[in-house]
Amino acid sequence: MSFLNIENVNKHYFDVEVLKSINIEINKGDFLVLVGPSGCGKSTLLNMIAGLDEISGGDISIDGQSMAGVHPSKRDIAMVFQSYALYPNMSVAKNISFGLEMRKVPKVERDKAVQKVAKMLQMEQLLDRKPSQLSGGQRQRVAMGRALVREPRVFLFDEPLSNLDAKLRVDMRTEIKQLHQRLGATIVYVTHDQIEAMTLATKIAVMNAGIVQQFGSPEEIYDNPVNTFVAGFMGSPSMNLIQAKVCKVEDKLCFEVATADQDRPLLLPIERDQQALVSYLNRNVTLGLRPETITDPGSANRSEGQIHEADLMVKVTEPTGADMFVVTQLGGTEVVARMRSRCGALAGQSCRFAFDVSRNLAFDGDTGDRIQ
């Protein structure tokens, strides 16, 4: 049975609808990440789970119990805020124990709980400091300690890493993941960073414009995005979305893609979702190619995929050290391919590209929905 159940939830401020019939169910121990661009309503949804924002319609229940009308402090949840929201006038220990104090937990037990959490997060030596004397990473830890000490049914995280610098962010991400694995806690986590979503989540809800675009495991979302928004939002560098035409060449369905050379379009055989694509014959679709499915012939994965090779003009190369991103022109837009760093591609010259056509995705040209 689902542990956290968000059922048909709506939210509108006056006349503006910010969330439209949201349905999400997760199990105990799940790590749910709500991901989407800013303004998509993910933080509002989190605040509604916390009880800090009112629900306009629908219901949220935790462990089978409806949360309608239940005060935030009575929901048995804890939250880690983006700005950490540490009380500036209180020491670290006081910050952690304040919630217990408000719940009238005796002092002896409070102290014990604080010690335990401090040990878990390795910050015993910080307990007497004030928040202003802590570094960003340490504040982040205190904010987590404040949530952990309560041992709540659900943890809520509101973009907890967005105020940290890049390196610290990666470290804390690992730490949060370890905490989740160790405690088996149920977590709802909001972020706009799709890498955080992919690495942390057991379940992802991709949101845009107040609607859950897709809800599923990270693999499902990455491999089978339901529309161009999800396809474009998840993954880095993002998926190449290019215009293509479905056509038949020698009885085989192909995507016809314009190249820099007008007389010689690129023809990519269709290996996937053929049935659905038959009805699109001679129509334009949006073709989705992940950068890692376009490589140099030498590093193409021939055992699992079906490789189609073509020569194309290279516009720009961007070496990153481990890989080289090679940009070419396809279907009127720039397309990024991910090649070995020493594949020999040079800007302004022709180069051989290998397409793994078994992983190509097609989307309806008008609605952006996946064709499958």
Partner 1 sequence: MSASSQDNALRSGIAWRVLIYSVLIVTAVIYLAPLFVMLVTSLKSLEEIRMGNMMALPLQITFEPWLKAWGSACLGLDCNGISGYFWNSLKITVPAVAIGTLLGAFNGYVLTKWRFRGHQWVFGMMLFACFIPFQIVLLPMSQVLGWLGLANTTSGLVLVHVVYGLGFTTLFFRNFYEAFPDELIRASVMDGAGFFTIFGRILLPNSGPIIVVTVIWQFTNIWNDFLFGASFASGDTAPITVALNNLVNSSTGVKEYNVHMAAAITAALPTLLVYVVAGRYFVRGLMAGSVKG
Partner 2 sequence: MQQNIARDKASTVSESRNDKLIGYLQQHLPKLVLAPSFAVILMFVYGFILWTVYLSFSASKMLPNYTWVGLEQWSRLWNTLTWQISLQNLFIFSVLYIGLCIVIGLSLAILLDQKIRLEGGLRTLYLYPMALSFIVTGTAWKWFLNPGLGLERTMHEWGFVDFKFDWLINSDMAIYTVVIAGVWQASGFIMAMFLAGLRGIDNEILKAAQIDGAPAWKIYTRIIIPQLGPVFLSAFVVLLHLAIKSFDLVIALTGGGPGNATSLPATFMYSYSFTRNQIGVGASSAVFMLMIIASIMVPYIYSEIKGGKK
In this complex, which beta carbon is closest to partner 2, that of residue 103 or of residue 248? 103
In this complex, which beta carbon is closest to partner 2, that of residue 150 or of residue 180? 150
In this complex, which beta carbon is closest to partner 1, that of residue 78 or of residue 221? 78
> Taking contact as CB under 8 A, which single stretch among the options 63-71, 138-146, 268-276, 281-289 is the one that binds partner 2?
63-71
> Taking contact as CB under 8 A, which single stretch among the options 62-70, 86-94, 111-119, 268-276 is the one that binds partner 1?
86-94
Give the E-state strand segments of the chain in sequence order. Answer: 4-13, 16-26, 31-35, 57-62, 65-66, 77-80, 154-158, 186-191, 203-208, 211-216, 240-249, 252-257, 266-269, 284-289, 294-295, 307-319, 323-330, 333-340, 350-356, 361-364
Cβ-based neighbours of 236, under 8 Å, separated by 6 or more? 194, 195
Q: Is position 110 an interface residue for partner 2 (rule: CB under 8 A)?
A: yes
Interaction pattern, residues 101-130, with partner 1; x per rule: CB under 8 A = -xx---------------------------
Contact residue for partner 2 among 59, 101, 109, 366 (CB under 8 A): 109
What is the total count of residues that contact partner 1 (CB under 8 A)?
22
Q: Tell me the C-alpha distance between 203 and 34, whole Å.
A: 9
3 state DSSP class of 67 = coil
| Residue 328, beta-bridge partner list | 314, 335
Compute, in degrees rounded to 10, the torsion defined by CA atoms 184, 187, 192, 198.
Answer: 30
In this complex, which beta carbon is closest to partner 2, that of residue 54 or of residue 261? 54
Q: Is position 105 an interface residue for partner 2 (rule: CB under 8 A)?
A: yes
DSSP state of 339: E
Work out whether strand 77-80 and strand 240-249 pair parallel, antiparallel, or are unpaired.
Answer: unpaired
Q: List binders of partner 2 among 125-154 (CB under 8 A).
A: 150-151, 153
Quote the radius of gyration of the chain (alpha carbons, Å). 25
Compute, in degrees rounded to 10, the torsion defined by CA atoms 180, 2, 152, 206.
Answer: 60
Residue 256 C-beta: closest distance to partner 1, Å: 53
Cβ-based neighbours of 362, under 8 Å, separated by 6 or more? 244, 246, 255, 270, 273, 277, 280, 285, 286, 287, 288, 370, 371
Residue 156 C-beta: closest distance to partner 1, Å: 9
> Taking contact as CB under 8 A, which single stretch among the options 45-53, 163-171, 182-190, 253-261 is the one that binds partner 1?
45-53
Q: Is position 65 an interface residue for partner 2 (rule: CB under 8 A)?
A: yes
Contact residue for partner 2 among 3, 61, 70, 269 (CB under 8 A): 70
Q: Residues interacting with partner 1, by CB under 8 A?
A: 47, 50, 52, 72-74, 77-79, 81-83, 85-89, 98-99, 102-103, 146
Q: Residues interacting with partner 2, by CB under 8 A?
A: 65, 69-71, 74, 76, 100, 103, 105, 109-110, 112-113, 150-151, 153
